[in-house]
Amino acid sequence: MRVLFVGAHLAKGGGQAVQTLLLFRALRGMVDRSLYCLDAPGIHREALNDPDIHVVGRLEIPGGLFALARSIRKSAGEYDVVHVFDPYFGLPASFLARVGPRVVRFGADPIWDVGWRYNILASIGYRVGLPVVLMGAHLVTNSRALAERFRSYPVTVIPNGVDFGRSDRHPSRDSVRERLGIPQDQVVCVFVGKVLRLKRVEWLLEALRRVPEVHGLIVGGLREEHFGDAYYRELRAGYPDLNERVTFIGEVRSDQVPEYLAAADVFVLPSRAEGMPNALLEAMAAGLPCVVSDIPAHRSIVADRGTGFLVTDPSGLADVLAQLSSDPGLRRRVGRWAQVHVRARFSIERSAARYVDLYRRVTSKGGSVFTGSASPRSSR
């Protein structure tokens, strides 16, 4: 089985890039695979050193899209399946290349994503064009909640996977805290993700203001190309009283994230919307009790007051943080339940095996990508 992966911006990082690379590595020895991507600035460029990863152009419109399309078309005869991970460059490029069969993975809703990054007109334009570029493709989402948004298409749900070895290999809690200058007896909560309005970091800061015994670590990029660092500057200006208790680490490589999880006692993710957050899965795999916003993506992973906590506002977040900070036994119990749950259901090996099964089913059907066999169904 030969599979061509298409993922545009690996060097920039983010959840999509992390999951692309995890799956690509997990499939080594299971399928013969290569990955085409575009070049972009970022601290994750070491991933591009893999000899099976090929940079075919720059991350730019329209040049990058056409560079991907040309490379995919040129290599199409060498592969049995084209697996698209990027909905903005890879998806239209694979359509223009007129190759098939195609497996297209959505880690989040690209229609909604385009809307909040740009504007409502861009979102409408993407929605109109999506049925065309998805023509004949086999759509995969990482959660049932996301699949429901695309119920007019045939959808396969394959959850994200976690490389448990990453958390198993991290340094000890004490050594990480010593390096970061965090007192060993300090209760620490950690947030991992880009500092964007979408992530509602202000919920965490409001909660920390009400729970003075807890220190916060915020790990993730402080600016984004579409928004700059305005949100980060607003947070620093709006919560000057927390400067001594909240540390903004900034962006780190994905292989460094387990160190910050090891230093923490609690994980917090108050996002407004998510696909299936890698950061949450990895925190649970590391045995941290997780406090997350009550949204569909989180409810598909966390059982409230069982494998974690679901909250609906900053006050509820503060209440849970206060409870966890004063009860080490509760932190250990919930963290352990979370770890068992994630390790039983969300391994990257399990995800890879399900993709191999999908590749086999897709190739067994044969035919051209443009047969219309996977065209949108009428909406229910």
DSSP per-residue letters across 201-270: HHHHHHHHHH-TTEEEEEES-S-BTTTBTHHHHHHHHH-GGGTTTEEEEE---GGGHHHHHHH-SEEEE-
Under the banding of pLDDT at 50, 70 and 90, the label for residue 287 is very high
Q: Both 39 and 183 in a single domain?
A: no
CB 181: neighbour CB atoms within 10 A?
Answer: 7
- Can you give 293-362 as a three-state secondary structure string? ECCHHHHCCCCECCCEEEECCHHHHHHHHHHHHHCHHHHHHHHHHHHHHHHHHCEHHHHHHHHHHHHHHH
The stretch 285-302 carries a mean pLDDT of: 95
The stretch 209-220 carries a mean pLDDT of: 96
- Tens digit of each residue's pLDDT (9 = 90 or more) over 15-55: 788 889 999 999 999 999 999 999 887 777 777 888 999 99
pLDDT averaged over the chain?
89
Let me know: does 208 contact 245? Beta carbons within 8 Å.
yes
pLDDT at site 374: 36
Under the banding of pLDDT at 50, 70 and 90, the label for residue 198 is very high
The stretch 240-267 carries a mean pLDDT of: 93
Q: Both 305 and 277 in a single domain?
A: yes
CB proximity list for 70: less than 8 A, separation 6 or greater: 56, 97
Assigned domain for 372 exists: no
Q: Both 157 and 218 in a single domain?
A: no
pLDDT at site 366: 59
pLDDT over 90 at 193, yes or no: yes
Closest CA to 289 of 252, 261, 313: 261
Let me know: does 260 contact 280? Beta carbons within 8 Å.
no
Residue in the block written with tokens 């340094």: 171
Tokens of 314: 């900053």
Q: How many domains does the chain have?
A: 2
How far is the C-alpha of 295 from the C-alpha of 287, rounded, in Å? 22
- Tens digit of each residue's pLDDT (9 = 90 or more) over 87-139: 999 999 999 999 989 999 999 889 888 887 778 888 898 899 999 999 989 99
Q: Both 127 and 271 in a single domain?
A: no
Let me know: does 234 contact 257? Beta carbons within 8 Å.
no
Q: Both 9 and 156 in a single domain?
A: yes
pLDDT over 50 at 263, yes or no: yes
Let me know: does 306 contact 340? Beta carbons within 8 Å.
no
Q: Both 353 and 341 in a single domain?
A: no
Q: Both 181 and 295 in a single domain?
A: yes
Closest CA to 209 of 314, 288, 298, 286: 314
Range of the domain at 261: 164-345
